[in-house]
Amino acid sequence: MIRLLIADDQALVRGALAALLGLEHDIEVVAEVGRGDEVLDATLGHRPDVCLLDVDMPGLDGITAAGLVRARAPETRVLMVTTFGRPGYLRRALQAGAGGFLVKDTPARELAEAVRKVAAGLRVVDPVLAAESLAAGESPLTERETDVLRVAADGGTVADIAASTHLTEGTVRNHLSSAIGKTGARTRADAARIADANGWLLP
C-alpha cells in the first residue's frame, strides 16, 4: 500500500481527494492537514510514502513545506497540486524537491496514477504547465523587487510598502520602477499582477 498524506486548506477539496484516492486498491490516506505548517509534523508522525500538497495554504506555503519534508523525511516523496498553474510555482516546487506537479482539475484516475509514479521515484509534471514554465523562464526580479511587489499586490501605498519592507520611500519607488520595467507593465499594480500570474511572488 502507498501511504498518502493530503494537505489542502479547503476542507471540501481535501475530503474529496481523500475519498477519491482512498478508493484505489493500493493507496491508503493516513493523514489529512489543512495548514502548511502542519505538514512536517504530520509527515514525521505518520511516515507517508507520498505527501500530496496544495501550493497556497495558511501558515506555510506548500512549496516551502515540500522543501522541509524532503530535508527531514527524504524517504517521503512530494506531489504538488494547485488550482493556479503558475509557471514559477512549478520551477520552485521542483527545486524544493517535489517529484510531481499537477493542477487540481486533473482527472481522479490520472491523479492516482501520478501518486503511484511519484511513490516509485518517477517525476510527473502537467505537460501544459511544463511548456509554460520553459517559456516564462526564471523570475527577472531581485529579492527586494519581489518583496516590494508582494506588498504592492495587496494594494499598499508607497508609504505602506516602505514601512513593511523597512526601506525608504525613495528606494521603494526605485524598486517599483525597476520591477515595472522588467515585467513590461504600465503600473505597479499591473507589475504585481504579472509577477503573481507567473508565480514569482510566493515567499
In a domain, 32, yes or no: yes
Sign of the torsion formed by the C-alpha atoms of 168, 60, 57 and 9: negative
Q: What residues contact 16, with CB distance under 8 A and at least 6 apart?
A: none
Based on the fold, state whether residues 49 and 77 are members of the same structural domain. yes
pTM reported for the whole predicted model: 0.70
Look at 196 and 40; give whichever has higher pLDDT: 40
Strand partners, 73: none
Count of helix runs (H) and strand runs (E) in the chain: 10, 6
C-alpha grid cell, residue 147: 518583496
| Amino acid at position 86, single letter | R
Residues 104 and 33 placed together within one structural domain of the fold: yes
Report which of 24, 30, 32, 27 is spatially closest to residue 8, judged by C-alpha positions.
Answer: 32
Domain residues for 156? 143-197
Residue 39 lies in a domain: yes
User: 50 pLDDT exceeds 90?
Assistant: yes
Q: Establish if 203 belongs to a structural domain.
A: no
Whether residue 120 is found in the same domain as residue 66: yes
C-alpha–C-alpha distance, residues 17 and 66, integer Å: 18
Question: Are 169 and 103 members of one domain?
Answer: no
Q: What is the pLDDT of residue 203?
A: 62
Q: What angle do CA 70, 57, 4 make, to 5 degrees?
A: 50
Q: Look at residue 22 and give its three-state secondary structure.
A: helix
Same domain? For 48 and 82 the reply is yes
Q: Is residue 146 predicted with pLDDT exceeding 80?
A: yes
* pLDDT band per the 50, 70, 90 thresholds, residue 103: confident
Which pLDDT score is estimated for 138? 75
Residues 168 and 116 reside in one and the same domain: no
State yes or no: pLDDT of 98 exceeds 70.
yes
Confirm whether 202 is domain-assigned.
Answer: no
Name the grid cell of 118. Answer: 511519484
| pLDDT at 128 (0 to 100) | 77
Q: Do residues 39 and 103 share a domain? A: yes
Task: Identify whether 176 is part of a domain.
Answer: yes
**79 contacts: CB under 8 Å, gap ≥ 6:** 50, 51, 52, 53, 98, 99, 100, 101, 102, 114, 115, 118, 124
- Same domain? For 150 and 121 the reply is no
188-197 and 143-152 helices cross at what angle (nearest 10)? 110
76 and 163 share one domain: no
Shared domain for 80 and 157, answered yes or no, is: no
The count of domains in the chain is 2
Q: What is the CATH number of the domain that holds 180?
A: 1.10.10.10
**Same domain membership, residue 121 and residue 77:** yes
* Domain's final residue, options 115, 136, 157: 136
Q: What is the pLDDT of residues 164-177, one digit of tens each?
A: 999 999 999 999 99
Residues 15 and 108 in one domain: yes
Task: Please indicate, yes or no, if residue 9 is contained in any of the structural domains.
Answer: yes
Pick from 95, 87, 106: which is nearest to 63 by CA? Answer: 95
